């Protein structure tokens, strides 16, 4: 609303620019206060919500050394056991049926484990020895 004295735009019964008291009905005052509270609450909610694009929260409880040993079993015809250990059941079955994607997937997983880029089913890196 505009102040009738200075013409400044204000949201309250008292002008923010010239400190004049503006007469208005009680309904208008309550409605404006409700809009201000709603606006402030909405801004606080938006500011307090943090969207983390990196879903890797924390480190996996799985052991890196166990995963490496299980991954190496893939070179002896038992591919994919490390993926079952990490909770990746679907790709574990694929690795098991194809002997570690014909060895290529096993090598890639072994390298990923060594450089801490292998993740469990909750997208947490398996890096704890």
25-68: pLDDT as tens digits:
545 566 777 788 778 777 766 666 655 444 446 888 899 999 99
For the CA atoms of the chain, what is the radius of gyration?
A: 31
Q: Is the pTM of this model over 0.75?
A: no
pLDDT score, position 58: 83
pLDDT higher at 25 or 13 = 13
pLDDT score, position 53: 47
């Amino acid at each position: 609303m505009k102040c009738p004295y200075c013409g400044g735009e204000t949201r309250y019964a008292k002008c923010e620019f010239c400190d004049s008291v503006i007469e208005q009905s009680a309904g208008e005052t309550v409605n404006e206060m409700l809009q201000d509270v709603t606006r402030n609450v909405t801004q606080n909610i938006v500011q307090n919500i943090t969207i983390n694009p990196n879903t890797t929260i924390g480190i996996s409880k799985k052991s890196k050394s166990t995963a490496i040993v299980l991954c190496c079993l893939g070179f002896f015809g038992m591919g994919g056991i490390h993926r079952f250990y990490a909770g990746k059941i679907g790709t574990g079955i694929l690795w098991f049926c194809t002997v570690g994607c014909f060895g290529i997937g096993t090598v890639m997983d072994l390298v990923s484990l060594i450089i801490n880029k292998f993740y469990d089913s909750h997208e947490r890196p398996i890096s704890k020895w």
